[in-house]
Amino acid sequence: MKKVIFLNILFWSMVNTMTMVGQQDPQYTQYMLNTQVINPALVGSRGVSTIGVLYRSQWLGLDGAPTTQTLHFNSPLSEKVGIGFSVVNDEIGNGTSKETFFDASFSYNIPVSDFANLSFGVQAGASVLNVDFSRLVNYGAEPNLPNIDNRFSPNFGVGAFFNTQEFYLGVSVPRILETKHFDNDSQETYLATERMNFYLMSGYIIDLNRDLKLRPGILLKAVQGAPLSIDLSASMLFNERFSFGAAYRLDSAVSALAGFQITDRFLVGLAYDWETSTLGNTQFNDGSVEVFLRFDFLNRNGRSNPSNFF
């Protein structure tokens, strides 16, 4: 049963037919801490030089399930200009399909009032895709498909972000070019099509008292050929040091979130997803887990710091 379910997941993830089933970007539960890989307008927005890493293991207990790792660095160059660099590695099937994204980002911030900022961002980069179908023999399948070796595909993206001390709203398309990897006209099939993913993210801060804040948020992700992804979250921030909360991904998962500001420079974020989809009702699926680490260099000479959000 594990092999059958795995093969269905793998083929629906990688093999798209002419019915235009879309391939989505990697999924993040702690998107509010990993915003740079979603929206380039946020690089440098925290007013500090920052390095962050994230590890996600999806569908624990399912052999060959997706894993994702991200690394990002960003810094303000001035009150108006920010730069950043990110690497995202996404893998499924114990190395059957591996794709790595490299992006460099630039943002420009425009103060629209004493309490609000509007930022615009662009990013340019590329992805490297490897697909080794010979590994599927380990799962009882021998597809007659050619491998993809180090397929290099350039791309670019854009984003915009508006924020005050209590509210934020961002829109972005991280990758605009739609690349088809291996087109076969005779069979009317193609593999691993990169489609545009459209993001809208928003959130608000409610001061409950001097030490306690409530932070509701929403993330929408749309891509052609796939259902609309909706993430709803709410967390409590205590003394700007400790946060805890919950999230719900429509028809997919319920999540628990926690964040620890260990020092002024070092933050740890944790998330666990309980799957509510059909996959989650199987006996072997133990949910998904995310770990996020962030280090700030505290050179507070850039933009105003929306740390209560991110």
Predicted local confidence at residue 64, as pLDDT: 81
Whether 237 is in a domain gets the answer: yes
Whether 89 is in a domain gets the answer: yes
pLDDT tens readout for residues 191-201 = 556 788 999 99
pLDDT tens readout for residues 128-147 = 989 887 777 665 555 666 78
Whether 302 is in a domain gets the answer: no
Predicted local confidence at residue 309, as pLDDT: 65
Whether 160 is in a domain gets the answer: yes
Predicted local confidence at residue 276, as pLDDT: 85
Whether 37 is in a domain gets the answer: yes
Name residues whose C-beta falls within 8 Å of residue 228's C-beta, 6 or more positions apart in sequence.
220, 221, 222, 250
Whether 308 is in a domain gets the answer: no
Predicted local confidence at residue 138, as pLDDT: 61
Predicted local confidence at residue 140, as pLDDT: 58
Contact 81, 44 (CB under 8 A): yes
Low-confidence ranges of the chain (pLDDT < 50): 1-7, 12, 14-23, 186, 188, 302-304, 306
Phi, psi of 308 (to 5 degrees): -65, -20
Provide the residue type at 63 as one letter. Answer: D
Predicted local confidence at residue 104, as pLDDT: 97
Intra-chain end-to-end CA distance of the chain, in Å: 41
Q: How far is CA 143 from CA 164, 184, 191, 204, in A?
A: 53, 15, 13, 49
pLDDT tens readout for residues 40-53 = 999 998 889 999 99
Domain count, the chain: 1
Residue 80's domain comprises: 2-296
Whether 218 is in a domain gets the answer: yes
Whether 109 is in a domain gets the answer: yes
The domain spanning residue 144 has which CATH number?
2.40.160.40
User: pTM for this one?
Assistant: 0.85
- Compute the half-sphere exposure of residue 283: CA atoms within 13 Å on the CB side of its CA: 2
